[in-house]
Structure 1
């Protein structure tokens, strides 16, 4: 379905609410949490002054937000035909002609270019990782894997996990084992999060012919995939042992709680959609709580 089939012509200026939809502001804000945590941890672990590092931190957050928002806008541009079919996405400005293709491309390119300039202003590694995130999300996820393979969610997890790397290298200048551990946490978190969402919208993805795992392989296969990634999360706090025993214990309890919730899906009376909703909500809280633990415990150790 083309845009012209939805609304004949552009109806006016895009509102702030619609702009938030175009750049997926909620997704951007969520990804800024691990980006900040990565930078904060680098400051603490390399014994740098917080105030002295404030300029790099602020520029990194703004640059990362622009890069992610611009990438999401391109994703919305490319997904117009799919979004026009899915009921939950038919109110997007890209579908109902509240924003033109030209405006959307200019907005996207402008955000990504300015964001990349800011990241390169900090240092080359931050800019390169940001660029890798753009290429991975736009090319490998949006254009290729989303429409051609059930592995699309895993492919998209690579660019989706770069924010903590950008945050770390913006302060430290090079990648460390701690930075890779943060990357691994966000990477393993994403399939669980997005599979839960895909279960709730499996009929829509099937209607739009998008090969999301629940739509193609079904609930049981998707549940197995989610458990695999839940298990992958388990050892990651122990790689971050420099944060201490308290962190490892609390993070492990957080992981075990998620596994416990996952196990409730084996009850005969379980409503799959309600279970997926609970898993989705837990995933949102997980990301915030996990990285809050990283920041708070590292702050306590610094004091």
Structure 2
């Protein structure tokens, strides 16, 4: 398929189909999971700097709109560049770049516009917030998507850096992020993404292999992938204790979540059904992240901790 082969949208195209195409293009679920830590970072910065939301609502809107646009731009550019492997993989075959419902030229233009607009909006907050967003965007688009994804198993670690800067963006919109809380939030996100991505690669092993994507289980096998998954989860164990300022309840819940995930990870060494294990690990990791960041937010409510 050539880059200018298709029109952006035909007059006959069903509006529901167009909305579905946009959802696929923006990777809606991934986008939401990236926006939540931005909100958490901003919210916790308000709490630890004794600021009020009413006095910072303009910064909040700029931060959320800007970071969402930057991340959306990066995800769109990922779709634009990966159209060849998306055509092969079952889970990505409905993306509009594959179906041709959106032209690659239009997708490229959208990705650039969203990225630029997002960075401009963040510059109206602080330069530091815009810098973190640009670092995340650059790593995801160039170092992950274009450079490492198809060549090196290290692509998972590289991509995890881009996803981990999100709470730093939210915090830095209010206050410099040289504080224990945003740094630990960064580390939680960075470490979490690696085993989360490993189990996705196990679940979609055949697709990644067919597409020639250098995922760890495809290149080095399941045994080493399981070992590294457990090691990375174990690295999460001490992190809640650096967030004692969020209260005992948070530390207990976060620690129990870490232990539960570690036990589930270790169980992978004793199962013959790797796919079933990977499915359970995937569901646990998705809920883990959501619970951790929601509890971080409500931990600032006086009755919680």
Q: Normalization by structure 1: what TM-score?
A: 0.94
Partner of 1:111: 114
Other structure's SS at 1:193 match: helix
Give deviations 1:177-231, integer Å, cap 9, x for gaps.
2111000000001011111111011111111111101111111111111111101
CA–CA distance in 2 between the matches of 1:135 and 1:146? 14
Partner of 2:302: 300
- 1:302 shift after superposition: 9.3
Partner of 2:152: 149
Other structure's SS at 1:103 match: helix
Matched, 1:250 2:247: no
5+ long unaligned stretches in structure 1 = none
Partner of 2:169: 166
- Checking the alignment, whether the CA contact within 8 Å between 1:3 and 1:96 is kept in structure 2 is no
Give deviations 1:82-105, integer Å, cap 9, x for gaps.
111112212211111111121101
- Checking the alignment, whether the CA contact within 8 Å between 1:130 and 1:166 is kept in structure 2 is yes
- Checking the alignment, whether the CA contact within 8 Å between 1:3 and 1:95 is kept in structure 2 is no
Partner of 2:289: 287
Partner of 2:273: 271
CA–CA distance in 1 between the matches of 2:304 and 2:119? 32
- Checking the alignment, whether the CA contact within 8 Å between 1:41 and 1:298 is kept in structure 2 is yes
- 1:175 shift after superposition: 3.0
Which of 236, 239, 244 lines up with 1:241 in the alignment? 244
Which of 187, 195, 199 lines up with 2:190 in the alignment? 187
- 1:244 shift after superposition: 2.3
When the two structures are aligned, how many residues end up with a matched partner?
Answer: 298
- Checking the alignment, whether the CA contact within 8 Å between 1:60 and 1:119 is kept in structure 2 is yes
Partner of 2:93: 90
CA–CA distance in 2 between the matches of 1:90 and 1:66? 24
5+ long unaligned stretches in structure 2 = none
- Checking the alignment, whether the CA contact within 8 Å between 1:3 and 1:80 is kept in structure 2 is no
Q: CA RMSD in A?
A: 1.7
Matched, 1:124 2:141: no
Which of 204, 217, 226 lines up with 1:201 in the alignment? 204
- Checking the alignment, whether the CA contact within 8 Å between 1:39 and 1:164 is kept in structure 2 is yes
The residue correspondences of 1:27-46 to structure 2 (distance < 5 A) are: 27-46=30-49
- 1:295 shift after superposition: 0.9
CA–CA distance in 2 between the matches of 1:56 and 1:299? 21
CA–CA distance in 1 between the matches of 2:221 and 2:158? 19
User: Alpha carbons of 1:164 and 1:193: their partners in 2 closer, same or farther (altered >3 Å)?
Assistant: same
CA–CA distance in 1 between the matches of 2:80 and 2:97? 7
- Checking the alignment, whether the CA contact within 8 Å between 1:78 and 1:143 is kept in structure 2 is yes
